[in-house]
Amino acid sequence: MTSRFLLPLAALAAFVSFPAEAALSRAEQRMLTTVDSEQGRTLGLLERWVNQNSGSLNIAGVKAVAQMVRPEFEALGFKTEWIDLKRVGRAGHLVARHKGNGRGKRMLLIAHLDTVFEPHSPFQRWVRRGYQAEGPGAGDDKGGIAVIVAALRAMQAAGTLKNADITVFMTGDEEDAASPIAVTRDPLIAAGKWADVALDFEGLAVEGGLDMGSTARRSSDGWTVTVTAKSGHSSGIFGADAGYGAIYELARIIDSFRRELPESKLTYNVGLVGGGETLELGADKIRIGATGKTNIIAPKAVARGDLRALTPEQIASTKAKMQAIVAQSLAGTKAELSFDEGGYPPMAPTAGNLALLAQLNAVNTDLALPEMRELDPAKRGAGDISFVARDVDSLAGLGAAARGSHAPGETVDIPSIFRQAKRAAILMSRLAAERR
């Protein structure tokens, strides 16, 4: 019975035979056997998706993956919609909606079709090595879509999908969101306002061999400090007439950020810096052109960085502190701080999110799996679920476990796909049975 996709029977035993099986309903037991019996099918789909490049800027590639994924949902009774985003330089989003009986919790499932690996990347193909597989997006986030499909198919086989109200929102530019962010994320925000629960199928976090629950994610904002100053002969630096020059002022600001801003769950990286007699920040804001001489006081300097925080209050407080630091200009200089439009908001920790994790842990108990503790949000990057987290109870990290994401050699842990599909199928079935 073993194929190139199926795990050996000895490995399957860990997923099929649960000491606490008596706690599972007959339908839930059917979900487990369905996930396991379809392992080969699930991995075959994932391999096909991974082998189709879908870098965020590869519009044709993202659309091709959407066309591969779409029939999987339509076969389960979902109505699909393509939201085209060519006008902002991205492919678009695939949305699949399943109408249930309207009585249970409405669920929004979030994943993404794109990867960080564009067509020019040398990392393009799926390579299976036992229980591991390398490939672009194998974990982030085509592995997450594989978990969703496997879970929904298990629900259908068990009869629990028919009454479930579910929207699956698969963005096409999660790794490189287009501007304006209102255009690209307003449809997702609307879906969040419709839902009672949001479940994010990006990667499962694992620490010390234990699966972790993600009840919070930090924000991601970009910032720019631009400094202008008097120029002149270097012999006059620090003097009353010449002042300190733009580069010293920029250094003061950046070092003040380092010393004065630190607090829990907050980071503020500096990723790009330059200064000189002439200076040009590229339109894409990822490159700087500068010229200068050692005997000229630099009149221009610029730095670009990011800001990540846990709550809207922490973001507002930090931005105010940054502005205050920038305003304390050295003699002969003037600095301005600006923030990029359309950053990713935080998914702040809430009581509702914790309650969702408790429900997932009830599933873990019934599957005889260890409790999933809360992951430190400083260990997760920003994600699409944050756009809906202000409106709906949310839980992240329900996708497959992987390592090396965003780098050649990205590797998905194959058993985690099926473990996560079982958790998700049972959790969603129970949520669908709860009164709104």
Give 330-357 pLDDT, tens digit per residue: 999 999 999 998 789 999 999 999 999 9
Across 1-10, 184-193, 194-203, 347-356, least confident range: 1-10
Residue 364 to residues 213, 341, 367: CA-CA distances in angstroms?
11, 40, 5
Give the list of residues 6+ apart from residue 183 with CB closer than 8 angstroms, or none.
Answer: 85, 87, 88
Q: Which residue ranges make up each domain of the chain?
A: 9-217+346-433, 221-339
Question: Among residues 410, 378, 425, 373, which one has the least CA distance to residue 211?
Answer: 373
Q: CA dihedral defined by 130, 135, 140, 142, rounded to 10 degrees?
A: -90
Using a 10 angstrom Cβ sphere, with 0-12 exposed, 13-18 middle and 19 or more buried, the burial of residue 313 is exposed
Question: Among residues 159, 191, 163, 167, which one has the least CA distance to residue 100?
Answer: 163
pLDDT for residue 185: 96
pLDDT for residue 12: 44
May I ask the CATH class of domain 221-339?
alpha beta
pLDDT for residue 4: 41
> Residue 14: pLDDT band by 50, 70, 90 thresholds?
very low
Average pLDDT of the chain is 94
Q: What is the pTM of this model?
A: 0.90
> Residue 284: pLDDT band by 50, 70, 90 thresholds?
confident
Percent composition of the chain: helix, strand, coil (DSSP 3-state, to 5): 35, 25, 40
CATH code for residues 9-217+346-433 = 3.40.630.10
Rounded average pLDDT over 397-410: 96
5 pLDDT higher than 80: no
2 pLDDT higher than 60: no
Rounded average pLDDT over 78-102: 97
> Residue 21: pLDDT band by 50, 70, 90 thresholds?
low
Q: What is the C-alpha separation between 108 and 166, in angstroms, rounded?
A: 6
- DSSP count for the chain of H helices, then E strands: 10, 19
Residue 139 to residues 69, 131, 133, 134: CA-CA distances in angstroms?
16, 13, 9, 9
pLDDT for residue 301: 98
**Per-residue model confidence as pLDDT tens digits over 128-146:** 999 999 999 999 999 999 9
**Per-residue model confidence as pLDDT tens digits over 29-61:** 999 999 999 999 999 999 999 999 999 999 999
pLDDT for residue 8: 52
User: Which structure tokens are listed for 26?
Assistant: 């007959």
Q: Name beta bridge partners: 95.
A: 81, 169
Q: What is the C-alpha separation between 222 and 382, in angstroms, rounded?
A: 12
